Amino acid sequence: MRRLVYTLLLRAALPFVLLRLWWRGRREPGYREHVAERLGHYGAAPQRKLLWVHAVSVGEARAAAPLVRALQRELEGHDVLLTCMTAAGREAAHQVYGDSVLLAYLPYDFPGATRRFLGHFRPRLGVLMETEIWPNLLAACAAEGVPVVLANARMSEISARRYARWSALTRQALGGLGAVCAQSEADAARLRALGAAHVAVTGNLKFDVEPDARQLAEGRALKAALGGRRVLLLASTREGEEALLLDALPAPQPGVLVAVVPRHPQRFDEVARLLAQRGIATARRSRGEVPGPVHAAYLGDTMGEMALYYALADVAVIGGSFAPLGGQNLIEACAAGVPVVAGPHVFNFVEATRLALEAGAALQFAGASEALRAALQLIEDVARRARMGEAGVRLCEAHRGATERHLAACRELLRVTGPR
């Protein structure tokens, strides 16, 4: 009955959802493409057996890379279908995987659309990244005999309270999962309390993501071209944070370049205007501009180049953590050997932040002013920066191995269900 009510509410919202897609397509044309896929209608059916991985957006698409590569090596006779929900996620998946995977949008969670999706692709296994819990989709997978893994699963206290309000719905959905690979013991406990069975703590796949060597080299070359200037990176910033952080900066620092990399591509021009309004001379990556002596800022307005920006940085201030948005992935910075400074709101990365703080790879502050002061002090302290950067690299090395543990769970489900 609860699932019926949920479905009726979805149906009532559909016209507004489609209108929002069209509206978002003004700034991101990808939202106006492949709209039929969101209702479960696709082109030619695949010819080979499929393994299906769902990564809702950019972060999940990148985090899935070690597991996708492992599945491709392990099961050579299969194609991998990677589904997303956002246009930026689909673009990121194309950048990361190229033509090595099939790409599609996952349909909205209507019973008919999910049945059409499964009937078209007939996956042997489904892998949902992090917290993608869709009641009708999981019910359809159970009816079709498609085993599903919740991979790299996380469940913050805030999300757990939200899911608990719909316990009759979410308990059934979580209980139907074939395996849950949780990032931490705390995540596992919350997922079990919400109804998940077969839960194991497997670690965070993001520790297994290797920074792109070509981008690292290009970033270091760009840094060498700056003539000794230090770089303060505002990484993966979200709406409202750029103004907050820029206004919290003390007077312009001689010898310091501020690099700003917004999280979402539709905001690149907005952030460029914000910098111009403050009279900050800015070079833009998308135009191929190299920051010169006249530039106080460098706008990272490209997608898929975070490794380059981390290689350029001396200190990284992590976005999403200064507004109540849950933070962004700080593991990328640690893997590149860059000291991390974070704000108070890291509820989507609680475990990774805790580990980085304990390892001495990160600092955390309650507000933007304190964080920026500490970051600028750290830029001047070469020895401390080196210690923190080395601690971050060691942290990533110590916590690798989640991919193999996830792969073992996938193997077991494929063994139990057999060929399809």
Q: Catalytic residue numbers?
A: 60
Q: 39 burial class (0-12, 13-18, 19+ CB within 10 angstroms)?
A: middle
How many other C-beta atoms are found inside a 10 Å radius of the C-beta of residue 23? 11
CB 284 within 8 A of CB 342: no
Torsion angle of alpha carbons 389, 70, 61, 217, nearest 10°? 40
Q: Which residue has the tokens 């939200």?
A: 162
Residue spans of beta strands (DSSP E) within 38-85: 49-54, 78-84
Cα separation, 417 vs 21, whole angstroms: 37
Cα separation, 266 vs 143, whole angstroms: 39
Amino acid at 69: R
Cα separation, 32 vs 125, whole angstroms: 29
DSSP for 254-279 reads TTEEEEEEESSGGGHHHHHHHHHHTT
